[in-house]
Amino acid sequence: MNTPPEDWEQKPTGEEAAPPGDKTASQTAPGTPVAIEDWTLAELIDQFLRAPGVTWTAFRDILRVPADDAAALSSTDERRAASIAGGHGGLTLLRTAQPIFEIPAQPLTAQEAEIRQREAAAFILRIAALFIALYGSSILAAERIEQYGLHVGAPYLLGGFLLWLASELYVSWPSLQKWWKSRGNRAAAPLTADQTLDVSEENGVNLRVRLVLGGGGLAFSIMTGVFTSGNVFRLEGAMAWFISIGLWVAAFAPAGWGWLPTWRRVRLHPDPTFVALLAIMLVGLFFRVNELSRIPPEMTSDHVEKLLDSQRILNGNPQVFFPNNGGREPFQMYAMALFSRLPGLGMNFDTLKLLSALEGVLTLPVLWWMAREVIGRDKSKPGNLVGLALAALVAVSYWHTALSRLGLRIVLTPLVTALLVIFLSRALRTNRRGSFILAGLALGFGLYTYQAVRMLPVVVVAGVALAVIFKARTWGERRRYVQHLAVLVIVSAVVFVPLLTFWIQFPNSFWMRTEGRLLGDDIILARNEAGQLVERQATLQERMDAFRANLPVLLDNIRNALLMYNWKGDVLWFNGVPNRAAMDTFTGALLVVGLGAWLARLVRGRDVVDWLLPLMLFVMLLPSAFSIAYPIENPSATRTSGTLPEAYLFAALPLAMLAGSAARLLPKRGMIVGGGLAVLILFGAASSNYSSYFTDYYDAYFESSPAPYSEAGAYLRGFAESGGGFGNAFMLAYPYWWDHRAVGIEAGLLDWPGGIVDPDGDAGEQSAADGVPRFLYLASQVGGLYRFDPDKDILFFYAIQDVQSERRLQELFPTGYWQVVYSNKPGDDFKVFRVPALGREAFINFAAQNGAAG
């Protein structure tokens, strides 16, 4: 089948690309001129001071020089850069010296002039498309009712999308005509260096050595399973785990492949890209740590569980998987345990938020790297530009800011997803085993972060399937793809061994959070012949009937999830402003036109990675869309966090394209115009997102959060420090009220045992206060910080509406008195009941009279 050429747009000049293996084209000897378009501002000023006449003439003549490419951001035939060096993908921020000052003396030809005119017209069309989409996006943001919001604003979004597509078609029309005329005579294009399918990875490698390494890896993997059984991460299990990973990687590693040569090429240099990325990270840091102690304002039980699990690790109970609270992956708890040991931190809510905030900041350079890898390592300038746009949009993103400051492990999902995209992209394009190994490591370790990552294996299989079907040209290449997929699966499985052991031993706990009901329940209730309700396994027919019944719900969930970026987002106050779209109006408009730009890129480039990313976005939406039993929980800003890198990449592409077009079309002021346009859009997005998070999100969280734990914790600490003692303070449980553990944590105590919740297990008790005598007696029998001292005052926290507990406390302690503690949070006032010290003899009588000592 004939397909459009890879460039699909005419080159405005006739410069020849150097062969992939020609090192002279990518290495510049001292004194070799460098193209004026590639200069930094400092280099331009320096050269102007040295030779003002020549420099001015060259700068002026750029207007007569056609653009490098009318679609440089999506062409696959741009000048190669050595920014990511060698086959192992070393990363560098150093600018590559390129031959320059090669400005043609002759004016533009008629064909070149037409190309320049087409790009100028396309630039105007694209600006118009963006403004139309922005107008539609603003309509959606103003009215969250479908009839007045979605139905009115969607046509403008569609118009912006179609107009951008028209600009792509217009600028590419000459190349399309040329391709159509020559479609029957085109030979297959040779592979570039980035795309070469390596067939010599075994050279110089002894098969016997590989078998020995593999055998050792298998032995240590078995030891890992044995030593991590019972959900305990013992020291010997951790050592066996890391050794097994190293041995398996060594067994599969291609000849000459290693970490040291790769990281030797990682060099940081204060060039414009590095400076811009550093500035973006500083902006991202501001969004993620500004007023961190105030927003989010209060803990929830999820935060309590994370803190207690992290403390259990420090207390000598390291687990592979944390089955409480629905089951959670362990990485964040271990990270928190280590992070809390740093000076000045500790195990508290602020440290929990700071850790996830820093993880969010670290995600930004990885996203830049991801965009550079996806756009192509031979397209260093467009890759850098799209990467910077992507990092900048996410840096000021309300969605990612909320995830970063939430204090939970969810923020790791975009990071893991971006890392997998980096290595999987390289693997699919080169079919090199080393890249598949890195992708396997990213996937395997990623499974220890958040449950949404469990969808990434589907992405890997889909990517390899696309490569086998559409990229590989021979059966040998297809076989190598399948072999390398097997390597990826083995490597990721080796990393997964501790979790796999837990899965085998405790399957219900492992799948508790991720069980969907698309096919109904495994176990159903039915009546037997005697009319009794019994449990039985669902039949295949019953599962199919459930599927047919649930399919409309799934389709509706998918629709709502796809609309979350521009229309309505998560309804839960904990994850964001209820119903607020995941993206601001500016980024949402960029996403719409970006989908048009990406569609043109798909047709133009025919790259499996480009085709995989939209599919990946859809797959990573499914953890939210599969909420069949509770469709109100869809879309979820947390479960869809795996779509964040792809969605923002699509949004970053048109922003970078507009900035790049402006720089090419207006050589004298193009960088200022292009940069100014990008800064203007980013400033609009940042302003909107700042207001969304630091005002609207704070208000929603503050109004809906379960309790003023920080105020109660301060009250508890004040009571203890004023002579009352932590062992003499208690909280009486009440339905849907406080978590006593959160009160203790806010007071600086992770193990405060003062919650009275019906200690006797007597369902007939009318209130928690009925268990007070027994609870006080038991507390008097323990030692340490939490021992009840009858010679000190007693304090009870209880709900303001719990009149039964108040009445019971007055009966038990006639000398006690209650008071209302007014909270800064409206509607969350609470009561305390204070009892003067009983004295030891009076307490003994009290316990005997109430049967507490029995």
pLDDT digits (tens, 9 = 90+) for 580-626: 999 999 999 999 999 999 999 998 878 999 999 999 999 999 999 99
Two tokens, residue 567: 């229309």
Closest by CA position to 797, among listed 831, 774, 773, 769: 831
- What's the Cα-to-Cα distance from 348 to each of 330, 339, 716, 727, rounded to whole Å? 18, 11, 16, 21
Alpha carbons within 13 A on the beta-carbon side of 139: 17
The answer as to whether 338 is a domain residue is no
Q: How far apart are CA 101 and CA 84, in angstroms?
A: 24
Give residue 184's pLDDT. 57
Closest by CA position to 297, among listed 404, 408, 406: 406
The Cβ of residue 142 has, within 10 Å, a number of other Cβ atoms equal to 12
The angle formed by the CA atoms of residues 397, 135 and 392, to the nearest 5 degrees, is 20
- What's the Cα-to-Cα distance from 719 to each of 228, 756, 832, rounded to whole Å? 44, 18, 11
Residues 403 and 364: beta-carbon distance below 8 Å: no
Q: Classify 832 as helix, strand or coil.
A: strand
Two tokens, residue 71: 């679609």
Bridge-partner residues for 527, per DSSP? Answer: 533
Q: How far apart are CA 836 and CA 790, in angstroms?
A: 9
Element at 176 (helix H, strand E): helix 151-181
Residues 367 and 418: beta-carbon distance below 8 Å: yes
Q: How far apart are CA 179 and CA 185, in angstroms?
A: 10
The answer as to whether 191 is a domain residue is no
Two tokens, residue 667: 């050589």
Q: Classify 90 as helix, strand or coil.
A: strand
Residues 650 and 634: beta-carbon distance below 8 Å: no
Q: How far apart are CA 446 and CA 455, in angstroms?
A: 11
pLDDT digits (tens, 9 = 90+) for 249-307: 999 999 877 655 555 555 656 788 899 999 999 999 999 999 999 999 999 999 999 99
Residues 64 and 108: beta-carbon distance below 8 Å: yes
Q: For the chain, which ranges sit under pLDDT 70?
A: 1-108, 111-112, 179, 183-205, 258-269, 377-381, 513-536, 758-766, 854
Residue-level length of the chain: 854
Closest by CA position to 32, among listed 24, 44, 20, 23: 24
Helices (H) and strands (E) in the chain, counts: 29, 9
Phi, psi of 348 (to 5 degrees): -150, 175
The residue whose two tokens read 């133009």 is: 604
Question: Which residues are within 8 A (CB) of 618 and not within 5 positions of it... i.e. 6 or more apart?
Answer: none
DSSP label at residue 96: P
Q: Which long-range contacts (CB under 8 A, 24 or more apart) does 205-208 make?
A: 205/254, 205/255
Cis peptide before 296 (omega within 30 of 0): yes
- State the distance between the two ends of the chain, measured CA to CA, in whole angstroms: 88
DSSP collapsed to 3 states, 623-653: HHHCCCCCHHHCCCCCCCHHHHHHHHHHHHH
Sheet strands (E) in 625-772: 729-732, 755-756
Q: Which long-range contacts (CB under 8 A, 24 or more apart) does 784-790 make?
A: 785/726, 785/727, 785/749, 786/726, 786/727, 786/752, 786/753, 786/754, 787/727, 788/727, 788/728, 789/725, 789/727, 789/728, 790/837, 790/838, 790/839, 790/840, 790/842, 790/843
Give residue 852's pLDDT. 80
What is the residue-wise DSSP string for 206-262?
Answer: -HHHHHHHHHHHHHHHHHHHHHTTTT---HHHHHHHHHHHHHHHHHHPPTT--HHHH
The answer as to whether 790 is a domain residue is yes
Cα Rg, the chain, nearest whole Å: 32
Residues 627 and 196: beta-carbon distance below 8 Å: no
The residue whose two tokens read 């796809």 is: 562
> Burial level of 721, CB count in 10 A (0-12/13-18/19+)?
exposed
The Cβ of residue 782 has, within 10 Å, a number of other Cβ atoms equal to 12
Two tokens, residue 227: 């030593």
Give residue 392's pLDDT. 98
Q: How far apart are CA 617 and CA 421, in angstroms?
A: 12
Q: How far apart are CA 572 and CA 549, in angstroms?
A: 26
Two tokens, residue 765: 């008790």
Alpha carbons within 13 A on the beta-carbon side of 279: 11
The Cβ of residue 365 has, within 10 Å, a number of other Cβ atoms equal to 19
Query: What one-letter code names the amino acid at 238?
Result: A
Element at 482 (helix H, strand E): helix 475-505
Q: How far apart are CA 491 and CA 447, in angstroms?
A: 13
Residues 256 and 204: beta-carbon distance below 8 Å: yes
- Is the pTM higher than 0.95? The answer reads no
Q: What percent of the chain has pLDDT over 90?
A: 61
Q: Could you tell me the residue range of the domain that residue 739 belongs to?
A: 709-849
Element at 715 (helix H, strand E): helix 709-721
Q: Classify 304 as helix, strand or coil.
A: helix
Q: How many domains does the chain have?
A: 1
Residues 349 and 307: beta-carbon distance below 8 Å: yes
Q: List, edge to edge, every strand of the sheet that includes 817-821.
A: 755-756, 729-732, 794-798, 830-835, 817-821
Alpha carbons within 13 A on the beta-carbon side of 476: 4
The answer as to whether 114 is a domain residue is no
The answer as to whether 741 is a domain residue is yes
Bridge-partner residues for 90, per DSSP? Answer: 85
> Burial level of 135, CB count in 10 A (0-12/13-18/19+)?
middle
Element at 401 (helix H, strand E): helix 398-405
Q: How far is CA 365 from the centre of its chain?
A: 13
The answer as to whether 793 is a domain residue is yes
Give residue 582's pLDDT. 96
Q: How far apart are CA 276 and CA 628, in angstroms?
A: 44
DSSP label at residue 267: B
Element at 798 (helix H, strand E): strand 794-798
Give residue 139's pLDDT. 92
Give residue 58's pLDDT. 61
Residues 224 and 498: beta-carbon distance below 8 Å: yes
Question: Which residues are within 8 A (CB) of 408 and not within 5 positions of it... i.e. 6 or more apart?
Answer: 302, 303, 306, 332, 356, 638
Alpha carbons within 13 A on the beta-carbon side of 463: 31
Give residue 664's pLDDT. 81
Q: Which long-range contacts (CB under 8 A, 24 or more apart) does 89-92 make?
A: 89/262, 89/373, 89/377, 89/426, 89/435, 90/261, 90/262, 90/263, 90/264, 90/265, 90/266, 91/265, 91/266, 91/369, 92/265, 92/266, 92/267, 92/269
